[in-house]
Amino acid sequence: MSEFTVLNPATERPVTTVAQADAEETDAAIARAVTAQQAWRAVAPGDRAALLRRFAAAVDAHIGELADLEVAGSGHPLGQATWEAGHVRDVLLYYSATPERLIGKQIPVPGGLNVTFHEPVGVVGLIVPWNFPMPIFSWGMAPALASGNTVVAKPAQLTPLTAIRIAELALDAGLPEGVLQVLPGQGSVVGQRLVDHPQVRKIVFTGSTEVGSQVMAGCARYIKRVTLELGGKSANIVFADSDLDRAAATAPYAVFDNAGQDCCARSRILVQHSVLDRFMELLEPAVKNVAVGDPADPGTEMGPLISAAHRQHVASYVPDGAPVAFRGSAPDGPGFWFPPTVLAPVGADDPAYTEEVFGPVVTVTPFEDEADAVAIANDTPYGLSGSIWTSDVGRAIRVSRAVETGALSVNSHSSVRYWTPFGGFKQSGLGRELGPDAPDAFTETKNVFIATD
């Protein structure tokens, strides 16, 4: 059996080793999930809801432990990791209301009545990336379970520890064996098998657009349902009429959160030309004040990158001679550190401007007017997130409608909430997660005619 050594990204020291599942073990887990699903879908809605609430309570009782695991295994700052563990609890609680609300319609028709039912799809394969191991795991897992499906989840190879622990907590809370299984292993082995296996009826994939495209092609073989949450290159658009102080003070957190390893990172700041110089004066101290360091320190705002290989990839966007306007700090010594970096001015063909860096690197580009801002924001194959800063309500709405992206914020740098829909336009993905309609993606609508004549 092969093993993978999880490293602490802040120290480069081993945390633990994790056994890697192979294709046969994946098949066995899928078979268990198929069997368990028959019983799970038959659990009375109120009882399924109660089990999910007990699962949420078990997570709540272990928030500190889960946060410590994420600090050690993923390098997330303690405050963020604690929030993420609480988020898993909240997502479970939110979707614990689903089982009792999966109601259909009754439609009068000549000679009878049609009724509709929401039937679970069956076994759901959940493929999770390394950047937000807990939240993204919960976004697919909770609505899938609530809708009567069973789940086989593959965490990222680099960051499996919290998902493994959360699945243990599910068992402790009374979820039956086989309802939620976590299978650590390689994407090309376990993830690929979930995609290729005919009895996995839906794939929820979060990760790169490149792998997402392969997953979608694989799902086509069995007309498998698929939700894709992929990359991003989002714009933070700052108009001259905005509260410039707030826009500049929050801009670092809009892109350097989780060391920039965030699909929603606003990694292109677009600033109206007339206020560019003032904005840069305000941005510089904000960037330099980001507290980068030991993730276990409660005061830390930004930790290390996930791996040596990823740091090398991020560094390739800031070669010698790159137009660095200013940078924040980062510790020396062991750890995959990279300082917050602002590039300006950048050429329109600079890879740091056109590609998803997935690290703490942001470009600043001026624009002339509203039409120019929208055109620049949309000049990317991605469309996941973004922000608009303005004091003109009409402009806020006009630009929100014109930017081709799934989750925007006006006069705020954050746009992801579990009770509102989340997902991308264009090559940023397919389908929507979160919000009240998420269970629709985990059920099939069945339509039954009942003759009365």
Interface residues with ligand TAP (CB under 6 A) are 127-132, 136, 154, 156-157, 186-188, 191-192, 195, 206-208, 211, 214-215, 229-232, 263, 356, 358, 384, 424, 429
> Which residue in the shown chain puts its C-beta closest to ligand TAP?
187
Least gap, CB of 44 to ligand TAP (angstroms): 33
Identify which of residues 156 and 251 has a Cβ nearer to ligand TAP in the complex. 156
How far apart are CB 131 and ligand TAP at their closest, in Å?
5
Q: What is the spatial distance between Cα 428 and Cα 442, in angstroms, rounded to a whole number?
A: 20
Shortest CA distance to 426 belongs to which of 385, 384, 387?
384
List the 106-109 sheet strands across, edge first. Answer: 106-109, 112-120, 443-451
Nearer to ligand TAP, 229 or 294 (CB): 229
Tokens of 206: 């979060």
Residues serving a catalytic function are 229, 263
How are beta strands 123-127 and 150-154 bridged, if at all? Answer: parallel
Tokens of 374: 């929208």
Minimum CB distance to ligand TAP smaller for 48 or for 432: 432
The tally of CA atoms less than 13 A away on the side-chain side of residue 327 is 11
Q: How far is the CB of 294 from ligand TAP (least distance, A)?
A: 24
**Least distance (Å) from ligand TAP to the CB of residue 301?**
19
Say how far apart CA 280 and CA 342 lie, in whole Å: 10
**Residue 379: CB partners within 8 Å, gap ≥ 6?**
none
In what helix (H) or strand (E) does residue 260 lie, and over which residues does it extend? none
**Residue 265 beta carbon to ligand TAP: minimum distance, rounded to whole angstroms:** 8
- Beta carbon nearer to ligand TAP, 214 or 329: 214
Q: Minimal CA–CA distance to 70: which of 171, 159, 202? A: 159
**DSSP code of 274?**
G
Look at residue 386 and give its three-state secondary structure: strand
Query: Please, which residue, 99 or 231, has the CB nearer to ligand TAP?
Result: 231
